Structure 1
Amino acid sequence: MFQDSPIYDRLIAERGDVPALVRGEAERLRRELEVVMRPLRPSGARPMAHGNTWQRTAAMLPGPRPD
């Protein structure tokens, strides 16, 4: 973006490439959050096949149960 600007080059020389540092830090945080936000599974559990993550069951209504 400002690569042809002498002022930009001077700032990079004096302060470092701050936008590149910020991008790198943002990428590192994104990777960390990706790990932290994964759903927890019990140890030894295998992931379910795609599409089988939810199963509908018959609801039990309140009141006496039929025989």
Structure 2
Amino acid sequence: MSSTEASDAPIYAGLVEEQGDVPAEVRRVAEETLLEVESALDFSAVRAPAAAR
């Protein structure tokens, strides 16, 4: 985090320092989960008719 960002939101910067960047961690886990689901499930048959319209 830059010094400008830290001075703009000192409470948030303090929380990130204490607890970690929770929104970034949630985003990372969500992206990993999406990739895992996409590789485990094949929805191409469901999408094909919609794409043909």
TM-score after normalising by structure 1: 0.51
Larger Rg: 1
Runs of 4+ in 1 over 3 A off after TM superposition: none
Higher relative contact order (CA 8 A, sep 6+): 2
Root mean square deviation, CA, Å:
1.3
Q: Give the share of equivalent positions with the same residue, in percent.
A: 46
Aligned residue pairs total 37
Can you give the 5+ residue segments of structure 2 that lack an aligned partner in the other structure?
44-53
Structure ranking higher in helix proportion: 2
Q: Of 37, 47, 51, which aligns to 1:33?
A: 37
**What displacement does 1:38 show?**
1.8
Unaligned runs of at least 5 residues, structure 1: 40-67
